[in-house]
């Protein structure tokens, strides 16, 4: 899974985007700079979010996105958003 951060940052400082993921019922793992997550289990529900931290230490987190990995008709593992 490769995530794209769509958070808007209106600050005047340099900033870093980090990413986190958790399984449903679990806790978020450590924030990571990489936007790639591997080892997802099909039909398991996950949550992910992004965080922006600027050079002054100001932090903004996105809302959670709930999804699960499922196999499509051609047998490829894809992400399906869950409400």
Tell me the pTM.
0.80
Indicate if the pLDDT at residue 10 is higher than 80: no
Between strands 45-54 and 15-23, the pairing is antiparallel
Q: Which residues make beta-bridge pairs with 8?
A: none
pLDDT class for 30, splitting at 50, 70, 90? very high
Beta-strand ranges (E) seen in the chain are 15-23, 45-54, 59-61, 65-71, 77-81
**Torsion angle in degrees (nearest 10) through CA of 18, 69, 29, 36:** -40
């Amino acid at each position: 899974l490769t995530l794209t951060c769509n958070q808007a940052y209106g600050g005047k400082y340099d900033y870093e985007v980090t990413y986190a993921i958790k399984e449903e019922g679990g806790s978020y793992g450590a924030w990571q700079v990489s936007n790639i997550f591997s080892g997802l289990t099909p039909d398991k529900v996950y949550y992910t979010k992004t965080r922006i931290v600027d050079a002054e230490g100001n932090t903004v987190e996105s809302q959670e996105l709930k999804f699960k990995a499922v196999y499509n008709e051609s047998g490829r593992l894809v992400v399906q958003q869950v409400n």
